[in-house]
Each structure stands twice: as C-alpha cells, then as structure tokens.
Amino acid sequence: MSSTASSSKTDDAEALRRHRILSSHLYYDVPPSKVPLIYSPSYDIAFCGIEKLHPFDSSKWGRICRFLTKEGIMDQKHLVEPVEATKDDLLVVHSESYLKSLNSSLNVSMIVEVPPVAMLPNFLVQKKVLHPFRKQVGGTILAAKLAKERGWAINVGGGFHHCSSEKGGGFCVYADISLCIHFAFVRLNISRVMIIDLDAHQGNGHEMDFSDDRRVFILDMYNPGIYPLDFEARRYIDLGVEVKSGTATDEYLTKLDHALEVAEKKFDPDFIVYNAGTDILDGDPLGRLKISPDGIASRDEKVFRFARERNIPLIMLTSGGYMKSSAKVIADSIVNLANKSLIDMRS
C-alpha cells in the first residue's frame, strides 16, 4: 500500500471516530442539584455466586456509596447516573473483531479470570457481566465532562487499565480510560492529558493505546513483580516508578511526592485521569504492598491537591482493590477529600 493510500485510510478512520464521538449520548447535562460522583446500581456484578470466584470485590462500588450515605456526606439522590456505552461508543477505541470476540463466553471468562463464566449462555454473560462494565465505561466518559465543568469528578467504578483496543485481561473488558480521553479530545477542547496510575498493577492497556501519542503523559507507579509483567508496554511509560513488594506507607508517599514534582517539570496537562486503585493496601493478596488506609487517604489527597493547586480538572477512578475493606477505605478517603475542601459534596 502506498503512503498516500495509507494516510487516506488513517484520515477516514479518524473521521469515523470523530463522528461516533460527536453522535454519542454518553455526555449529557447534569443538573446542579447533583454532585460529580457517578454511580449506578448496575455497576455491581452478582450472579449465582460466580462473582465470588474472583478475588475482586464486585459489589464494592455499591458499598462505597452506602458508606458515604451512612457517613452523612451525601444523599443517594444526588449521585449522577451514567448512560451505558453502546457498541458505537466502544468502537471509538475498540476494533469490531475485539467486540465480536466478547460474544464468546469462553473469551469473557478468560478476561475476567472466572472460568465458570465460560459455561454460561452468552446472553447471560452480556446481561450479568458485560452490561455492568459498559455502565462503568459510560461513567468514566461522563466524568470527564463533569470535571471540565466543576473541576473534579469521581466515577465510583471504572479504571480498567489492563484493557487496550485489541485485548482485555485482568478483570478489564473495556478500555474506559482510553475511551474517556478520546472523547475529551473531541468534545471538551482538551489537548494534553496526564494519566496518574497509582493502582498496584502496571496500566498496560492505556500504555499500549497511547504508545505513540504525545498528547498523553503516563505516570505509572506500580509493583514490577506482579501481573501483568508487560515489558513491551513499560516502554511507553513516560514516568515509571517501581514500588517493590513489601513497600510501606512512608516510602511510598515519599516516592509519590518526588514523582509528582518530576511529572510537573516534564509535562503541562490540561486534564488529569487519576487511576486510584486500592490494591496497594496492606494485606491485599495481589498488590503485595503495605500501604495503610491513612496512607491511601494521603495519596489521594496529594493527587487532588496537585490538580487543585494548578487548576487542572481531574477525574478519579476506583480501579483495583481485592479486599472487602477496600470499599470503606475509598469512602473514608472521599470523606477526607471533602473535609480538606478538595472536593465539594454539597448539592
């Protein structure tokens, strides 16, 4: 194929992507009576106990909101309900062949790492597994619009950072971070995005998707000795900070402070995607780090303060976290952000 033909094909693909983004219904005007905290009861995954076969707490999203309600920090009626991402929305990043592969229950079972899912009729997999994920994708995409308008937004779900345009894995079926950023480029007049990925695992999905896109700067602070061990994707991290198994709170926070200082000197973003996995928590069986609950609150506070002091809109995604205690830790951190006036939970 000639370079001219190749260039024309690329232009056509970009035009189609732009058309899909502009035609999407995932962005809508949220009334001021709502706080920029996005959640739907559809987020939680529960089907005959099969969800218990994966260490991920697939009901943590609802539990976070119940904790926040119990704390008196918010009323459920003030939450923002996202729209489910459609096939056209997903095609903004994903290929037709990848989405078609999800019509195989076996393929989905390998991505979510729950073997019995392979035995289920695919219509049930679509309804009980993929529908919740598509709702969360809608939440991540909408969060960007809300953050642009109000300075911050939190999607109580999302953060599927192991999924790229062509490949899912690690309980991540759709590339919500990549989708969110592409929507923001087209709809929000955003041109420079910093991903701050502080989940314990390397964010290999978005790293592959933005491998040659200089509009996106990736700060990834991760345990190099655990999944996904994606050495190709590591080449595309702009600022990598390795935190080895057993790293404790003080050392972790010191490394984060330094990383944020370096990132600021290297890149000037007009938008931040913060992937705030709680699998760094002490005792998490997969993250293997030793960060205290207060340490997680301090971590989140540092990132929000970094954005606030520079007047950069920020979205937070809850991402990984494999202990029942994660939901309370996340809720407590959100309460801390409100108490420090880094977010405003008043409707």
- Residue by residue, DSSP assigns 112-134 as HT-GGGGGS-HHHHIIIIIHHHH
Query: With 80 as the cut, is the pLDDT of residue 60 above it?
Result: yes
pLDDT tens, position by position, 257-295: 999 999 999 999 999 999 999 999 999 999 999 999 999
User: Of 10-14, 136-140, 261-265, 307-311, which gets the smallest average pLDDT?
Assistant: 10-14
Res. 5 pLDDT band, cuts 50 70 90: low
Indicate whether 230 belongs to any domain: yes
Query: With 90 as the cut, is the pLDDT of residue 336 above it?
Result: yes
β-strand partners of 197:
220, 275
Query: With 60 as the cut, is the pLDDT of residue 202 above it?
Result: yes
- How far CA 220 is from CA of 89, 201, 251, 328, 333, in Å, comes to 26, 9, 16, 24, 21
Indicate whether 108 belongs to any domain: yes
Q: What pLDDT is recorded for position 8? A: 74
Indicate whether 67 belongs to any domain: yes
Query: With 90 as the cut, is the pLDDT of residue 165 above it?
Result: yes
Q: Are 252 and 154 in contact (CB under 8 A)?
A: no
Indicate whether 9 belongs to any domain: no
Instruction: Compute the distance between CA of residue 180 and CA of residue 86 in angstroms, rounded to an integer.
Output: 14
152 C-beta neighbours (distance < 10 Å), count: 23
Instruction: Compute the distance between CA of residue 68 and CA of residue 63 in angstroms, rounded to an integer.
Output: 9
Indicate whether 274 belongs to any domain: yes
Q: What is the mean pLDDT of the chain?
A: 95
E strands, the chain, where?
A: 37-38, 152-155, 193-197, 216-222, 239-242, 271-275, 314-317
Q: How many domains does the chain contain in total?
A: 1
- Name the pTM for this structure: 0.95
Which residues form the domain of 106? Answer: 17-339
Q: In terms of Cα–Cα distance, which of 270, 140, 279, 163 is closest to 217?
A: 270
Indicate whether 286 belongs to any domain: yes
CB neighbour class for 199 (10 Å; exposed up to 12, middle 13-18, buried from 19): buried
Torsion of CA 23, 154, 201, 205, to 10 degrees: 10
The amino acid that residue 274 corresponds to is Y
Q: Are 174 and 134 in contact (CB under 8 A)?
A: yes
Give me the active site residues, please: 162
Indicate whether 28 belongs to any domain: yes
Q: What pLDDT is recorded for position 11? A: 84
- Average pLDDT (254-258) is 99
Query: With 60 as the cut, is the pLDDT of residue 1 above it?
Result: no
Q: What pLDDT is recorded for position 322? A: 81
- Average pLDDT (3-17) is 79
End-to-end CA distance of the chain: give it in Å, rounded: 56
Indicate whether 90 belongs to any domain: yes
CATH number at residue 293: 3.40.800.20
